[in-house]
Amino acid sequence: MKEADDESGRKRKMAVGWKEQLRIICKEKEGKDCEDAFKKRKEMIESSIKKYNYPSLTENQQNAIRIMAVDLYNKIKVSGVNADTLYVELAKSFAE
């Protein structure tokens, strides 16, 4: 695990890789006895990776995807706030 700052400046823990992230998710959902769930889900993911011939990505490529994903998430979040503001303004105008 490593720590990183989120957009509000708070520290949060981030998983290093997908297997570690999967283990964390399984522990949160299954509790201490999560090894079976982890193994099943890991096998499903690895099977899909092999079946669909996913490429191996370098660390730089992974970081580039992460940067784009964070940017997209932020844009969607702002768009949601803007849509909510627009809805409130429209509701006010129709109520008058």
Residues 40 and 23: their CA atoms lie apart, in Å, by 11
pLDDT at 86: 94
User: Count of alpha carbons within 13 Å of 23, Cβ hemisphere only?
Assistant: 9
Of 71 and 1, the one with more pLDDT: 71
If pLDDT is split at 50, 70 and 90, which confidence band does 15 have?
low
pTM: 0.57
Encode pLDDT of 20-30 as tens digits.
999 989 999 88
What pLDDT is recorded for position 41? 96
Contacts of residues 31-36 at CB distance under 8 Å and 24 or more positions apart, as own/partner, are: none
What are the residue boundaries of the structural domains of the chain, listed by start? 1-54, 56-96
Average pLDDT over residues 46-58: 95
